[in-house]
Structure 1
Amino acid sequence: MTTTPTPTVTLRQPLAADGTFLPDELLNQVRERFLHVDTCPFSGKRVFFENAGGSLTLESVVTRSAEVAGIPDNEHRDNPASHAVSQIVSSGRDDLATFFGASGGVIFGGETGTECLFRVIRAAALAAEAGGSILASSVEHPATYDATAQWARRTGRDWIEVPFDVATGRVTAALYADCVRPDTRIATILHTSPVTGMSMDVAEIARTIRAVAPECMIIVDGIQHAPHGFLAVDDYGVDAYVVSPYKAYCRFNNGYTWLSDRMSVVDHDRLSGKPADAWELGSRDPSALAGVSEMVNYLAWLGGHFTDDSSRRACLVAAGQAMRAHERALVHRLLFGDADLPGLCSYPRLHLIGPEDSPYREGVVSFAVEEIEAKHVVAELGARGIRVHARSDDVFSGNILRPLGLRAVTRVSLAHYNSAVEVDACLAALAEVLPRA
């Protein structure tokens, strides 16, 4: 598995601080590549602003993965079909390495991203030197927050919770510095929160941890970040990074994990005759990896509109930068509206998670409205053809909402295939639902 380091990509067009919309013609081409972009097969026309729960799916992913799923042959047989399947799997792994920005290490697939995180944290906890502490942040998804707490208890270690800054909706390296100890064996980092919408500086946090505990195993949940920019695991200085492709334009099936060379050989579940860095149990689903290749093909196509560098990796970086700029422009319009439509920030009884001008927001705007339940806002928007979601004080979001003093929030989550017209439709609907006085 080899890929080139993250290139420095100069976009053909400069990006404004508050974002730059994709050109209309290109956005139309983008939207044509996705299934159900403006229509639900069950309810009809709608605007899809529930991307943090799972993105729209590329038509090419569905078509190609269905073709491959119909092949009855398995790998490691002496026949042309088996050889073809092996090539599909190999190409999928190479494309995953390009997507991760990984020049080394091991990539393996699991049932889901959550399952991958639990499995890696378990292996790290059982393999690490006895005693010490395990570190996690209260802003994290239960995939790491719960897994670290459980494996700290099961291995007799201290579990240390790093608080996040409730004013900004993110956790910083300085907050980790207050909690990390020389005996910290494992630490987890959330790259982007699906509740607050804020991204974290993974590389800076990792450097801060290693300055105190250089042998600490650092595991990153990148599931929410993956669809909002490019990944660069070579630059992060971590030991594991996990994504879920269904949040990045693929169908529901697998999660994928990148492991550093040292993490890949810790003692873990594997068949006894397999190499020390083998993590996959059983046969791979070649149709899933075929879908991943189609997703990378799409990103390379998109990025090719913004850079003259023809390398696959450079195109993915350019795509990530352009996607981020478009989403920032969408978020800016949602928050501030225009002369004809009030933005979210114009409602005095509305409480936004995080600063309205935060540069760390990635496609998610979560808010609460005084004396109006989030589920009511969701239902009213749904009745007007705007699909959003409520996050509540439950198993998935309670550890994040409780420090914020909130029982629930309405979440509007955007992606690069969404349009300014759709944001305006959402603002028009909100004007009918939310009180101005």
Structure 2
Amino acid sequence: MGSNRGQLFSESLMEQIKDRFHYVDRDVDGRTRLFFDNAGGSFRLKSSLEAFARIDALPDCPERIHERAIFLQDIQTRGEEDIRRILNARDGSVYLTLTASAAMFEMVRAVMEHIPGTNAVTTILEHPSSFDAMKLYCERTGKALRVAPSNAETGGVDVDAIVSLIDDDTALLSVMYASNISGAKLDIAAIVERARAKKPDLFIIVDAVQHAPHAVIDLQKTPVDGINFAPYKFFGCRGAGVAWLSERLAELPHHRLDAKEKGVWELGSPASAQFAVVTAIVDYAAWIGAQFSDSEDRRELFVQGMQRIEAHERALLSLLLDGVEGQRGLRTIDGVRVFWDHDDLTRRDLIAGIGFDDLDPTEAVRAYEQRGVIVYERIATSLYSGRMLKSFSLEGAVRISPLHCHGPDDVLRFLAVTEEIVVASRVAR
């Protein structure tokens, strides 16, 4: 299961998994479609949307004493417990807000405005919600922003490059779990251990939005101060961002109602339906885990499910790169270049970046759509990807991001379409 090449789900389990998501093989109009843009949007679990609709339809306010209000309180309590199960978080505070980006800005602000220091450290690959938050609050607090460079070969950031920027005057380290451009995973465990060796009380915040749907997160092994994820990229719904904060971060001055305890970050009445969505996500991953484990512990089943998802996605990435059933993979299709490519697939989420010899990324994305495939162009003029691509000396790339509800047949079709696009582009030239 943990091999470099991963392990596919069985065909029977694959059928059940696909059936639990909306629009995997066909779009809302019934047209056959491959959606390989899950790093931007993401497939929705039917159970997540059903849970949201069922709970959100209730007019009751959870901050009451009647029966239905208590029911909603129980939904929220279970949802918070499941957020803690996802992260293996045992203390601190859970914060549900409108978006994961909003949560990131708030966490960065609290640290930067109240923790002394002359500098803060981040990486060039961060999502704008974390990079721009760091830049903004460095400017407001007079701190220097130190930015670790990317590694053009791996698509990630080396641990040494990050840790070398940290000193006794560093107030905050903000780092992402995995790049949503290249799919490269950063070694968070090593980063946390070595950063805290240099400064034991260093505040560390991690952006896990890209990585959370693809593998296990364990805050007992990577004790950071803040971490976020987005339910809509984790098989759930739009309209909420989730953050967990350590006790010391949660109790820093922040926007809050004066009568609330210091560690509470929620403002206004929480959305009970969004907590129900998180529970549906954990239910689903635990259901996969139960296919492989007899455990009755919900966290253990969730972990087993996420490990199986990771192994399946690694196997899909291997097929995408090296081919399937006689169909050439991206590495060997003439006219295609694979960026950030290296053999250690354990260090990569299910994302591939490619370029075409005879098409720019935008032209390629349109060519894919004409053939019923949705991918996305990451270009240097984009506010969401320009900084990262320029660090790799690239003008653009086509980002391919399937999800674990895809199977080998989907990869086969995608690769065949890719070859078709190459041939068509040569004829057009």
Range into which the TM-score falls when normalised by the shorter chain? over 0.9
SS at 2:263 equivalent: coil
Superposed CA offset, 1:202-238 (max 9, x none): 1210112112222221000000111101211221121
SS at 1:288 equivalent: helix
> Which residue, 52, 71, 78 being the options, matches 2:58?
71
Name 1:139's counterpart in structure 2. 125
Kindly indicate whether residue 261 of structure 2 is the aligned counterpart of residue 293 of structure 1: no
Asked whether the 8 Å contact 2:4–2:344 carries over to 1, the reply is no
Name 1:6's counterpart in structure 2. none
> Which residue, 405, 413, 417 being the options, matches 1:429?
417
C-alpha displacement at 1:348, in angstroms?
4.6
Distance 2:412 2:181 in 1: 22
C-alpha displacement at 1:361, in angstroms?
1.2
Q: What residue identity is the alignment partner of 1:261? A: E
Name 1:419's counterpart in structure 2. 407
Kindly indicate whether residue 256 of structure 2 is the aligned counterpart of residue 262 of structure 1: no
Percent of aligned positions that are identical: 29
Return closer, same or farther for 1:275/1:432 CA change in 2, 3 Å cut-off: same
> Which residue, 187, 210, 221 being the options, matches 2:196?
210
> Which residue, 227, 230, 238 being the options, matches 1:244?
230
Q: What residue identity is the alignment partner of 1:399? A: R
SS at 1:363 equivalent: coil
> Which residue, 373, 390, 393 being the options, matches 1:386?
373
Distance 2:171 2:357 in 1: 43
> Which residue, 375, 387, 390 being the options, matches 1:399?
387
Distance 1:227 1:342 in 2: 28
C-alpha displacement at 1:347, in angstroms?
3.1
Within a 5 Å distance, the mapping from 1:159-170 to structure 2 comes to 159-170=145-156
Instruction: Give the RMSD, CA atoms, in angstroms.
Output: 1.5
C-alpha displacement at 1:150, in angstroms?
1.0
Name 1:376's counterpart in structure 2. 363
Name 1:5's counterpart in structure 2. none
Q: What residue identity is the alignment partner of 1:361? A: R
Distance 2:148 2:184 in 1: 16
Distance 2:3 2:133 in 1: 40
Distance 1:308 1:42 in 2: 40
Name 2:166's counterpart in structure 1. 180
Kindly indicate whether residue 364 of structure 2 is the aligned counterpart of residue 364 of structure 1: no
Name 2:14's counterpart in structure 1. 27
SS at 1:218 equivalent: strand
Gaps spanning 5+ residues in structure 2: where? none
SS at 1:151 equivalent: helix
SS at 2:216 equivalent: coil
Name 2:185's counterpart in structure 1. 199
> Which residue, 253, 263, 270 being the options, matches 1:284?
270
SS at 1:331 equivalent: helix
Name 2:140's counterpart in structure 1. 154
Distance 1:43 1:145 in 2: 40
Within a 5 Å distance, the mapping from 1:25-174 to structure 2 comes to 25-42=12-29, 44-129=31-116, 131-174=117-160
Q: What residue identity is the alignment partner of 1:383? A: Q
Distance 2:343 2:30 in 1: 35
Show structure 1 runs of 4+ deviating over 4 A.
Answer: none
Within a 5 Å distance, the mapping from 1:343-362 to structure 2 comes to 343-359=329-345, 360-362=347-349
Asked whether the 8 Å contact 1:39–1:45 carries over to 2, the reply is yes
C-alpha displacement at 1:78, in angstroms?
2.0
C-alpha displacement at 1:41, in angstroms?
0.9
Asked whether the 8 Å contact 1:229–1:319 carries over to 2, the reply is no
Distance 2:263 2:208 in 1: 22
Distance 1:145 1:370 in 2: 32
Query: How many residue pairs align between the two structures?
Result: 423
Asked whether the 8 Å contact 2:153–2:342 carries over to 1, the reply is no
SS at 1:372 equivalent: coil
Return closer, same or farther for 1:417/1:407 CA change in 2, 3 Å cut-off: same
Name 1:327's counterpart in structure 2. 313
C-alpha displacement at 1:16, in angstroms?
3.7
Superposed CA offset, 1:278-329 (max 9, x none): 1000011111111111111111111111222221111111111111111111
SS at 1:44 equivalent: coil
Deviates more, 1:206-215 or 1:154-163: 206-215
Superposed CA offset, 1:37-68 (max 9, x none): 11111472101111111221111111121011
Deviates more, 1:287-296 or 1:367-376: 367-376
Superposed CA offset, 1:321-379 (max 9, x none): 11111111111111111463111101354332222413211010011223421111111
Asked whether the 8 Å contact 1:191–1:224 carries over to 2, the reply is yes
Asked whether the 8 Å contact 2:94–2:245 carries over to 1, the reply is yes
Distance 1:369 1:184 in 2: 42
Distance 2:197 2:339 in 1: 31
Q: What residue identity is the alignment partner of 2:152? A: V
C-alpha displacement at 1:385, in angstroms?
1.1
Superposed CA offset, 1:236-270 (max 9, x none): 12100100010000010101001111111111111
SS at 1:94 equivalent: helix
SS at 1:434 equivalent: helix
Distance 1:338 1:278 in 2: 51
Distance 2:377 2:139 in 1: 31
Asked whether the 8 Å contact 2:154–2:342 carries over to 1, the reply is no
C-alpha displacement at 1:402, in angstroms?
0.2
Asked whether the 8 Å contact 1:335–1:356 carries over to 2, the reply is no
Asked whether the 8 Å contact 1:233–1:241 carries over to 2, the reply is no
Q: What residue identity is the alignment partner of 2:216? A: F
